[in-house]
Structure 1
Amino acid sequence: MDTLSYKTLSVSKETAGKKWVIIDAADAVLGRLSSEVAKIIRGKHKPNYTPHADCGDSVIVINTDKIKLTGKKWTDKVYIHYTGYPGGQRHRTPLELKEKSSTLLIEKAVRGMLPKNKLGRAILKNLYIYEGAEHPHEAQKPIEIKIQ
């Protein structure tokens, strides 16, 4: 019996074999899209997933201005943050966030699905979000992934 064949290989950032992926967000539901994007940039879709390493792919999300929310979430859902000052609790709806920038909706949704530590902040840097269909990452030759 060869005991070396039973060793678990732990992937590091250098040996992860990262790729570039492009996802079209036109007519996609925000939560379903965000969970798939979080899974891809975390690396959970790979067979050599390592929880303590940045082994996910880089993701480009385009057409975020055409994203959908189900039900009455455009007006009823509320994003709350606190400025740190007395009386500094701020409320915003997804409609208000989209008017400012539609990339904020996807960024907030994906950030909430990642670990809340140094690794999560490092992984979020592998996410590139653009409102239109144009992006400056053609040189990386991204692979297109369809998400329903």
Structure 2
Amino acid sequence: MKTFTPKPADLSHDWYIIDATDVVLGRLATQVATLLRGKNKPTFAPHADSGNFVVVINASKIALTGDKMGKELYSHSGRPGGLRRDSYAELLANKPERIIMSAVKGMLPKNRLAKVQLGRLRVFAGEEHPHTPQKPQVFEIAQVSQQAK
């Protein structure tokens, strides 16, 4: 049996929408990373860009477990003195998109393809998003936070 290698004509990029209400951050990030890489497709190859577009809505209603509210998210601008430190509690109130983007980025492979795949992720704090013309399919995450029940 020959090994299947997808050609550029074989690759398609579907659109998925995920509601992050009461979903634990890590569980959401793993599902989003899987969709972005295209691992849900039978034509998956690690070197080919067969990933999907993913729209995450209600990022401000995500569930953080443990002591993550006191934890801090670090980023650096690359300039001298450019270290930025924000707590998860602050980010959840002001910019919840950054929490999800950093969690998903950590679950993607560390190569050139990861930047392309992360570019297909769209995160919105609220319910509204401008991607309705693309007709995204609803992707349901069954496991919600235990605190939400």
Q: TM-score, normalised by structure 2?
A: 0.86
Offset, 1:53: 1.3
- 1:104 aligns with one of 85, 93, 98: 98
Structure 1 position 78 matched with structure 2 position 72: yes
- What SS is found at the alignment partner of 1:61? strand
Q: What secondary structure sits across from 1:73 in the alignment?
A: coil
Offset at residue 14 of structure 1 (A): 3.8
The aligned counterpart of 1:3 is: none
1:9 aligns with 2:18: no
| Whole-angstrom distance in 1 between the partners of 2:16 and 2:90 | 29
Question: Which of structure 1's runs of 4+ aligned residues deviate more than 6 A?
Answer: none
More displaced stretch, 121-130 vs 91-100: 91-100
Indicate whether 1:92 and 2:80 are aligned. Answer: no
Moved more, 103-112 or 6-15: 6-15
CA distance in 2, matches of 1:130, 1:14: 31
Q: Who is 1:52 aligned against?
A: 47
| Aligned residue in 2 for 1:65 | 60
Q: In the alignment, is residue 131 of structure 1 matched against residue 125 of structure 2?
A: yes
Stretches of structure 2 that go unaligned for 5 or more consecutive residues are 144-149
Residues 12 and 55, structure 1, Cα contact 8 Å, conserved in 2: no
Count the aligned residue pairs: 142
SS in 2 for 1:132: coil
Give RMSD over aligned pairs.
1.7
Larger Rg: 1
Letter in 1 for 2:68: K
Identify unmatched segments of 5+ residues in structure 1: 1-5
Q: Give the alignment partner of residue 29 of structure 2, picking from 17, 25, 34.
A: 34
Distance 1:44 1:54 in 2: 11
Structure with higher helix content: 1
TM norm structure 1: 0.87
CA-CA distance at 1:42 after TM superposition: 0.4
Seq. identity, %: 46
Instruction: Report the residue type matching 1:93 in the other structure.
Output: S
Secondary structure of the 2:69 match is: helix
